[in-house]
Chain A
């Protein structure tokens, strides 16, 4: 009986909020309410199968529907997906194995540049055209998705090999340095050999083939190509995120996951229990990096243009903030953290700034006690919340580590362990 009641509640909430978004396609709160319906699904005491199928309906049908009404929401969903995959990757390194990596975005850059170079005419610069002509055909994109995984893992392995012997905090600084090295290399390898085209970046980058377009047309759907690409990327990201979640869960529950945890909690004890430290750390590094590699490939195809500006230290810190916020080592935590930070940054802070702007333009005059009349048009532009992304990241990190180090959504196995002195 109870189960039915909860199912009803879930259906009502999901249905209600999606209706709200459809009726008010430009209302941010409505979309936020819709987004929170996934959270509700997770919390409701439903049977796992029901929960998964409801989530599937929301993600695979309602979200694309809403996205085709307001393309911006689809873009947000794609970016959230990209960051979820990144946060899950970093979560393996930082959260599960306890290795602080401050240059994680480097692996993302490797994946992105991999497809950018071969999926555009850039590769002609250093590969003789008598061998092969670039850009490669769009269908190579799928091969490069796999290559992105391999390239990410290899880079993680190569970096990890020398540095994983270091103590934790040294490791943090070295990875930070590595992240900068990759960015500076990307910015400078336009000579002597033009590998990355330097700061000018690479464009146009091939997009994956729309092999199903004729089929859709036969079925009577006529969707414009740009909208189709957005939907395409959405489903691609959704697929990759699902794969990443599955992989992470499997790893978490395997002996490898337990070995990582042992290393995180006490390296010495883990080593004496026979955990091969270096091999396990390398594995964590390479796995985390491979996730970044694959989303990097998607990112460059979606962006159409990339240059080194997308791969700065700020991005690494952003992903780290997501992992800490959600709860280190926790898979739902990383997902939640990535969603909250991305939504905060893209929607909420921006929305507030725009709202302040409309207030300013409204010519409203507040009469405040003691201060007298205050015209809202005088609100200084410096106060706009969108300007304080760093501040917000910083405050999130500090407050979380001091007051709730286990994150909003702690890893179940970690419960009760943190805070131990």
Chain B
């Protein structure tokens, strides 16, 4: 018991970091779902694209020999903005090519298309990296300052980058809710989410709003990708799949279409995963280990969908056109 207690603060912080990561990715799912009632299965690859853009920039700086000279408070915004831009535009392009022609098709059809896009993107990234760097795995180089750890007590410490992940996630989530709730652009998004036909009668360009939604959702995914790379350092073209599924679970958990819901869902899932992985083995005397954490997430997803299909905070989706 005492042993479990000494672990507690560390597990809590790690869970929070993971949770914010999930929350950022979940935003992409939740925004698109809110507007189109459609699971953008390819979002996990859009997230990975952000991570790859980040690492390419870092490696570029490194080979130019200037990496050590750039302070991290300059470097970080560059990476995040580059990742956001690339992922945001990729999301818009994907929507234009693979989803828009299917806007009026039966519900499952665009989902199938999204699965296809997800596979195409995975291999496209792999293809480019294998030609360009002859590599499958890429590693984020160590970043000065960010890797430092702050020691609090003997069994608990926290790294600067974890704080950065938490801080920038909160910042972005706040910016996003301001954008959606307080600006004209946000009002248009909400209008289309509620009722696209009426919105278009009111002079809202639905296609533009959909593109915008994908841009924002993709950008959030891209930011998450860069932060993921900085935090966990190793990425591959297939890295996105599991975090993607988890983030979707988080979105459903919080109530799909609901932006604060995505955040709550992400945090709950991150903490659950962190605690189950660290404590399961302890609680069951080694019979069930950390490997059951993924099963845990899926069971939660199934339970939530059965018991409370509208999620913790309630879902916010319009009516299907």
Mark A residues whose CB is within 8 Å of B.
98, 100, 102, 162-163, 165-166, 168-170, 172-174, 176-178, 180-181, 184-185, 187-188, 191-192, 313, 317, 320, 324, 380, 382, 388, 390-391, 393-398, 401-402, 405, 418-419, 421
Contact B116–A170 (Cβ < 8 Å): no
Contact B120–A395 (Cβ < 8 Å): yes
In the assembled complex, how far is the CB of residue A285 from the closest CB belonging to chain B, in whole angstroms? 15
- Docked Cα-Cα span, A401 to B110, in Å, equals 8
Contact B123–A391 (Cβ < 8 Å): yes
Inside 8 A of A178's CB, which chain B residues have their CB? 298, 302
Contact A398–B98 (Cβ < 8 Å): yes
Chain B interface SS verdict (over half): helix
B305 CB within 8 Å of chain A? yes
Inside 8 A of B122's CB, which chain A residues have their CB? 390, 394
- Docked Cα-Cα span, A318 to B91, in Å, equals 24
Contact A398–B130 (Cβ < 8 Å): no
Inside 8 A of A184's CB, which chain B residues have their CB? 291-292, 294-295
Inside 8 A of A388's CB, which chain B residues have their CB? 123, 127
Chain A interface SS verdict (over half): helix
Contact B102–A401 (Cβ < 8 Å): yes
Within 8 A of A (CB), among B87-135: 98, 101-102, 104-113, 115-124, 127, 130-131
In the assembled complex, how far is the CB of residue A95 from the closest CB belonging to chain B, in whole angstroms? 11
- Docked Cα-Cα span, A418 to B112, in Å, equals 15
In the assembled complex, how far is the CB of residue A152 from the closest CB belonging to chain B, in whole angstroms? 20
In the assembled complex, how far is the CB of residue B312 from the closest CB belonging to chain A, in whole angstroms? 16
Partner of A166, one of B106, B241, B288, B309: B309
Known: A163-B305, A172-B39. A382 touches B117 (CB 8 A): no
Inside 8 A of A185's CB, which chain B residues have their CB? 295
Partner of B108, one of A98, A188, A391, A395: A98
Known: A184-B292, A184-B295. A397 touches B116 (CB 8 A): yes
Contact A405–B127 (Cβ < 8 Å): no
In the assembled complex, how far is the CB of residue A249 from the closest CB belonging to chain B, in whole angstroms? 24
25 A–B contacts, CB within 8 A, in A order: A100-B112, A162-B302, A163-B302, A166-B305, A169-B107, A173-B245, A173-B248, A176-B245, A180-B294, A180-B298, A181-B295, A181-B299, A184-B292, A185-B295, A188-B291, A192-B288, A317-B119, A382-B131, A390-B120, A393-B119, A394-B115, A394-B116, A394-B121, A397-B115, A418-B106
Inside 8 A of A395's CB, which chain B residues have their CB? 116, 120
Within 8 A of A (CB), among B264-320: 287-289, 291-292, 294-295, 297-299, 301-302, 305-306, 309
Residue count of chain B within 8 Å CB distance of chain A: 49
- Docked Cα-Cα span, A47 to B62, in Å, equals 72
Inside 8 A of B35's CB, which chain A residues have their CB? none
Contact A317–B298 (Cβ < 8 Å): no
Inside 8 A of B295's CB, which chain A residues have their CB? 181, 184-185
Known: A166-B309, A172-B108, A180-B298. A382 touches B127 (CB 8 A): yes
Inside 8 A of A98's CB, which chain B residues have their CB? 106, 108
In the assembled complex, how far is the CB of residue B290 from the closest CB belonging to chain A, in whole angstroms? 10
- Docked Cα-Cα span, A402 to B118, in Å, equals 15
- Docked Cα-Cα span, A402 to B104, in Å, equals 11
Inside 8 A of B249's CB, which chain A residues have their CB? 173, 177
Partner of B292, one of A100, A176, A188, A317: A188
Contact A401–B109 (Cβ < 8 Å): yes
In the assembled complex, how far is the CB of residue A196 from the closest CB belonging to chain B, in whole angstroms? 13
In the assembled complex, how far is the CB of residue A377 from the closest CB belonging to chain B, in whole angstroms? 17
